[in-house]
Each structure stands twice: as structure tokens, then as C-alpha cells.
Structure 1
Amino acid sequence: MLLARVEEYAERVLRPAALKTDRDGVPEKTVRDLRALGLLEPLGGDDERRVHEILAGACLNTWLVWAQHARVVKLVPRSDILLGVAVSDVRRLPCGHVTAERDGDGWVFDGTVSWVSGWGLNEALVVAGVTGDRTVVTGLVPVGPGLTGTPLALAAAGGSRTARVRLDRVRAESVLDVTPLDEWLRADAAGTADAKPHHFGLARTVLRELAAEPAARQVAETWAPRVERLRQRAYAGGEVAERLRVRVEIGEVLSTLTRALVVVRAGRGLALDDTAQLHARSALFLLVQAQTTAVREAQLGSTQTAGE
């Protein structure tokens, strides 16, 4: 029932508005709709995976705002608000990270978060800061005094309300996790190696649009089985090296398929009212989203090998 409701909503509301959302930003009404659908509640298993696919395929901007919340809602003892995530700057240590400092019986965060999606819609952020003794403290910070957001002008996912956010010695409302830095980085590296459901949601949409173009129907038919094989490999898990190979490959496949969609639509595919250019920019975004050093090295290595 949940998946049927989400799919109906995505087709009726999100997909037709995807170009407008990319231009104007995810509206507050969408958050209310997601709440009414039950998508601010913790999900799990196959249902959560399919929701990622459905939302990303219909509107990548909406997916990105929701995905931040879905990633952390299991850590927070409330699901009535939309959460934002501010944890990736831990990867930038020793420069550019948020610090965490003991303050009496609590913790204070200070620094600039380079990337928060859903800014203006989020009511609280899950923030990760690093202490002087190389411990990562993750806490819940209400959006309010002490937080200043500067919207980022992005060429892709421009409607995701992504901002750079300054935290000026903001006190955590609650502490969600305390983990040694090395352990945190290992877990982060393992999680970011994966090809994720949103890759396959976007791929399915592009294949669908290619199949609707008579000149590209055979292209869609040729590539669809490869996308499905990659999806099965991604969801099978396995060693980090294998998961990383799948992530690199699906990124290359998305680049190829979105390029084909632009090609088949010719000049009109570059118009801002055409989804071909939207999907091409979305594919570029997914190449760098959640990109660690290991992911970047694998991507560049694959590109180098292809040119030899």
C-alpha cells in the first residue's frame, strides 16, 4: 500500500513538476505531502529502497531533500519534523571541518557546513563535529539562532535548497552518537562505496524517456538489461571493491544514457523546459554526490583506463 501511494503521488505530482521544482526549489507543500504519505517516519528494507528509486526517478531535487531526512530519522526520537544532515565535512579533516567541544554537560558545535540540502524546510540538523582528541560527536541541532545559511547556486540539483551553513557555537539539543574518528571514517567509506537506489531510479526514468523516442527505442532496449544487472549486483552487496566498481559503472552508464537522450532530442534537449538537460545535469550531480577520495580515485582510474 505504501509503495502504491508513493508511486501514484510521484507520477501525479512530482514528475510533472520536476522542471519547475529544479528552477524554483522544493516547496513547503511537498514536505507536507511527504508527511501525509508517512515518508517522514522511519522506513527500512525493500520499501525504503523502492521509495528512493521512485522519488529519485520522479524528481531528483525532492528525493535529495527527503533522502537527507531518511538517512538519519532512525537516530532521532521524533519524525514530525524534516531533518537536514550536516556530517560530510568530517571527511575534510584536518581543514574545513566542524568542531565539537564539551560545554558543561553538553556539546557545542562550531564551524561551517559546506552542504546542507533542504535549507529553509529543515527544522533541525543532524550535525557531526570532531573533538581535539579525534572523536566524532553527532548531535541534533534545532534550526534557529546561531545558524546562518547561504544558498548555493548549483548547476545541478539547483532546486534542492542546498546551502552552506555557519554554526556559531551552537549547543546540541541531544547527542546521538560518539565514535572514534578512525571508526567513523571506515564506516563512511564503506557506505559511500555503494551504488544506491537513486542511481537506478534516475536510470529507469531516462530509459523510459529514451523508449518513448522512436529513434532511440533500440538504445533503451539494449541498455535496460545492463542497468538491471548492475542493480542486482548493487543490491547483492559484497566486498567494498566490488561495490565501488558498480558505483563507478552506473555513473558512467547514466552519463551515457542521459547524453543519448540529449542527442535524440537534438537542440530542444538543451532547452530549460526539456527533461533531457535536467537528467544530464542530474547524472553529473550523482557523480560527485557522497564522493570520497576512494570513489573519486576509482572514477578517474576508470576514465584513464578507457582512454588507454
Structure 2
Amino acid sequence: MTATPHPLVTAARRLAADVLVPRAERVDQDGVPVSSIEAVKASGLLGVSAPVAYGGSAAPPAVVRETAEILAGACCSTWFVQTQHHTPVATLAKADLGLPVRERLLGPLARGELLSGVAYAQLRAHPRVPVRVTAERGGWRFHGTVPWYSGWGLNDVMLLAGVTDADEALFAFTEAREQPGLRPSAPMRLAALSASRTVSLELDGLWLPDEAVALRVPFASWAAGDRPKNTNASPAVFGVTSAAIGLLERDPAAKGTAEVLRARLEEVRRRAYALADHPVPTERIDERLVCKTRAYDVMRAATTAAVVAGGGRAMDLRSPAQRLAREGMFLLVQGQTAEVRTAHLGALGTP
């Protein structure tokens, strides 16, 4: 964690205290409101990693992680909607200078004027191709199904991906609204984070011009860069864990348990972030996976302890303990790949 608070860490704490925490239980049941998203936009946090030249902060990784922990611990649903935004920003920041979509969108996204969602997790189903992209008259046609898209009705734009006939991963931006060739499902009812306004998207010939394309690379190249990302422990896991321990620390009967769990959290967080900062992201994959599963173990223990300490009151939907437990369940599978699943199941099956 940062020794002296970065301005964005201060902004995240203020947003959490003033907006997210007071609303968290209501948001969990009713959905993330536009007003919460407007507060996120105004906070400057949507540009945490964006280039300064485009209105962002280009903050160091430690600040990015700390702000994510704060938001996830305050309201995981709101964190999840806004966290999608950072992949489109990173994609545009790495794109060639002068690329039309970069010059059109990077500034508004970095400044928080627009919020972007993502529709690319289906690429990880390869060699299955849930979304196929074909070239047509100065643009691209998208056919298939995006199984998960969060932030519908909250996002302004989305970064949509599919696989071309040449086995390329192609990413393009479009408005996040129903339009010819793009139809959303009804909002999904989920055990946790239904508030994130998650839908599936049916793509029936959606056409996007070449000027909307942000990235087009061989699928193998994209996959090689994507693989290490999900082997690292997520800051959101540490945020939810810390929030659950915070509940225990306020309970005189649970302070001893809280102290033990806080020490475990600090240990696994230090190890996880040291691995995340390793200069070669494709190295030490096995260590990263072990650390990730340990982070899950501490989160599960902390959220379970919060429910146990709360007793019957924890079953009330107004109780933060049960919300944090369900959010923790969601984080067990968020961004899950076959490699992560195998490692986690192996750890759970070890005596």
C-alpha cells in the first residue's frame, strides 16, 4: 500500500465513504444507479492509468491496486462496472498514434466523460469462436453471442471483440446501446452482483467501420499477452477481504479472529503484489497461481467469519456480511480461465 496517500487514493476513499458504502446494500438489491456512475466519473478514477497527455493520471501500479481495493471493498458491484473501463483505456493507450478511434475516444475516456464496457471474454473460449468477424465494405460484420456484458444502461461505449477468418483477434468500439445487429438480453439474475446490470448480447450482422477498430492481431499473440493477467491475485479480492475483516474488528467478540485474518491478508497481499510487479509477466506462473488461491482462502475465511459473527442478523439482506460473502463468491469465478480453475480446484482438493 502507498505510504503517503496519492490524490487518487484520497479521492477513492472519499467516494467510498460518501457514496458507495452508504448505498451498498441498496445497490446490491436495486442495481448500480446512474448517480453512482456519475460520482465515479467525477472522481478522476476512470483515468487512473490513462496517459497524462489525454487527461489521465498515469498512476503507478500500487496506486491503481489500492484504489481498486477501496472501491471493491466499498461496493463490489460499482467497482465491477467501472473496472471494465480500464481495459479499453489501456488498449487505446497502446494503439498507434493517429489511429482514428484512439484520437476520438482516448481523451473522453481518460477524463471520465465517457464510461466504456468490454465484450471480449468470449475470446478465451478459443478454439471455439462465439463471435465471428468478417470483412465487409470498409468495415467488419460481427456474428455470434457475447455471453456476459456488464454495465448495460450505464456504459456509453463498449469494446467488442471477435475472431476473424484469418484467426485474428479484432477489437472495435461501438455505442453501448441496442442497434441494428446488436440486441441485449434481459438483465441476468445472478447470485451476486446482479446489480452490475449484466446481459448477454446477440450479434446478428452488426457492422462497424474500419475507423472503429482499436486492435487487430494474430489470436496467438493476443492470447500470449492475456494469459498471465488472470494468474495474478485481484485487488478486488483483497478489498472485499479487508471489508469483511473490518466488520470483525468492530465486534469485541471477534477481534482475535480479525487480528489473525488481518495478518494473513497482509502477508498474501505483499506476496501477490511482488509477483505482479515482476518484470516478466510470463514468468513464475505457478507461484502466481498458488498466491491467487491463497488469497481466495483468506477471503473465504474472512467473509465466512463475518457471517458467523453476525449470526442470524447476517441473513438479513440489509447486512453487509452476507453481501460481502456473496461478492466473494463472485470473485472466485470473475475472469476465471481453465488454468486458474484447475489450479484452484487442485488447491481445494489438497489435504
Superposition TM-score, scaled by structure 1 size: 0.95
**For 1:129, what is the secondary structure of its paired residue?**
strand
SS in 1 for 2:114: coil
| Aligned residue number for residue 306 of structure 2 | 261
Q: Which residue of 2 aligns with 1:156?
A: 192
Equivalent residues of 1:116, 1:162 under 8 A apart = yes
Instruction: Could you tell me which runs of 5 or more consecutive residues in structure 2 were left unpaired when the two chains were aligned.
Output: 1-6, 50-58, 93-104, 279-283
Q: What is residue 53 of structure 1 aligned with on the other side?
A: 69
Cα distance, 1:268 vs. partner? Answer: 1.1
Q: 2:116 aligns with which of 77, 80, 83?
A: 83
1:233-252 map, 5 Å: 233-237=271-275, 238=278, 239-252=284-297
Separation of aligned partners in 2, 1:13 and 1:277 = 20
Secondary structure at the aligned position of 2:336 is classed as coil
Alpha carbon RMSD of aligned pairs, Å? 1.4
Instruction: Map 1:5-44; keep pairs closer than 5 Å.
Output: 5-43=11-49, 44=59
Which residue pairs with 1:276 in the alignment?
321
Task: State the Cα distance separating 1:241 from its structure 2 match.
Answer: 1.2
Q: Secondary structure at the match of 2:232?
A: coil
Q: Is the 8 A contact 1:155 1:281 kept in 2?
A: yes
Q: Deviations over 1:167-220 (max 9, x none)?
A: 222223511111211222222221011102111111111111111111211011
Matched, 1:169 2:205: yes
Q: Which residue identity lines up with residue 271 of structure 1 in the other structure?
A: D
Instruction: Check conservation: 1:141, 1:170, Cα contact below 8 A.
Output: no
**Any idea what SS the aligned residue of 1:16 has?**
helix
Q: C-alpha separation between the residues in 2 aligned to 1:252 and 1:149?
A: 35
State the SS of the aligned residue for 2:197. Answer: coil
* Counterparts in 2 of 1:158 and 1:39: CA distance versus 1, 3 Å: same
* Alpha-carbon shift at residue 5 of structure 1 (Å): 2.2
State the shift of 1:42 in Å.
Answer: 4.7
Q: Which one-letter code corresponds to 2:247 in the other structure?
A: E
Aligned residues: 306
Q: Is the 8 A contact 2:122 2:146 kept in 1?
A: yes
Q: Which residue of 1 aligns with 2:4?
A: none
Q: Classify the secondary structure of the residue corresponding to 1:156.
A: coil
Alpha-carbon displacement from aligned partner over 1:141-187 (angstroms, at most 9, x marks no partner): 22231322121110011111111111222223511111211222222
Contact 2:8 2:48 (C-alpha < 8 Å) held by counterparts: no
Structure-1 separation of matches of 2:208 and 2:290 = 38
Q: Identity, % of aligned pairs?
A: 37
1: CA distance between counterparts of 2:11 and 2:339?
Answer: 38
Deviation at 1:38, TM superposition (A): 1.4
Structure 1 residue 96: deviation in Å? Answer: 5.6
**Correspondences of 1:113-128 after superposition (within 5 Å):** 113-128=146-161
What is the CA–CA distance in structure 1 between the aligned matches of 2:71 and 2:264, rounded to whole Å? 22
The answer to whether the 8 A contact 2:15-2:40 is kept is: no
Moved more, 69-78 or 262-271: 69-78
Task: Return 5+ residue gaps in structure 1 as ranges.
Answer: none
Of 100, 103, 113, the residue aligned with 2:136 is 103
Question: What amino acid does structure 1 have at the position aligned with 2:114?
Answer: I
Moved over 4 A (4+): none
Task: Measure how far apart 1:61 and its partner are.
Answer: 0.2
Q: Is the CA contact (8 Å cut-off) linking 2:171 and 2:213 kept in structure 1?
A: yes
Q: Does 1:223 align with 2:261?
A: yes
Deviation larger for 112-121 or 31-40: 31-40
Match of 1:285 among 305, 324, 330: 330
Alignment correspondent of 2:102: none
Asked if residue 93 in structure 1 is aligned to residue 126 in structure 2, the reply is: yes
How far, CA to CA, are the matches of 1:267 and 1:96 in structure 2? 46
Q: Give the 3-state SS of the residue equivalent to 1:81 in structure 2.
A: coil
- Paired residue secondary structure (1:141): strand
C-alpha distance in structure 2 between counterparts of 1:200 and 1:264, whole Å: 20
Report the TM-score when normalising by structure 2. Answer: 0.84
Once the two structures are superposed, what CA deviation does each residue of 1:262-298 show, in whole Å capped at 9, x if it has no partner?
A: 1111111111111111011111101000000000000
2: CA distance between counterparts of 1:9 and 1:52?
12
The letter for the 2-side match of 1:165 is: L
Asked whether the equivalents of residues 142 and 204 of structure 2 are also in contact (C-alpha less than 8 Å), the reply is yes
2:83 matches 1:67: yes
Letter in 1 for 2:323: L
- Corresponding letter in the other structure for 2:22: P
State the Cα distance separating 1:57 from its structure 2 match. Answer: 0.8
Is this contact kept in 2: 1:130–1:137, CA < 8 A? yes
Separation (CA, whole Å) in 1 of partners of 2:207 and 2:37: 26
Contact 2:129 2:163 in 1 (8 A): no
1:184 partnered with 2:190: no
- Displacement of 1:41 after TM fit? 2.4
Instruction: Tell me how far 1:94 sits from its aligned partner.
Output: 3.7
CA contact (8 A) 1:42 1:73 kept: no
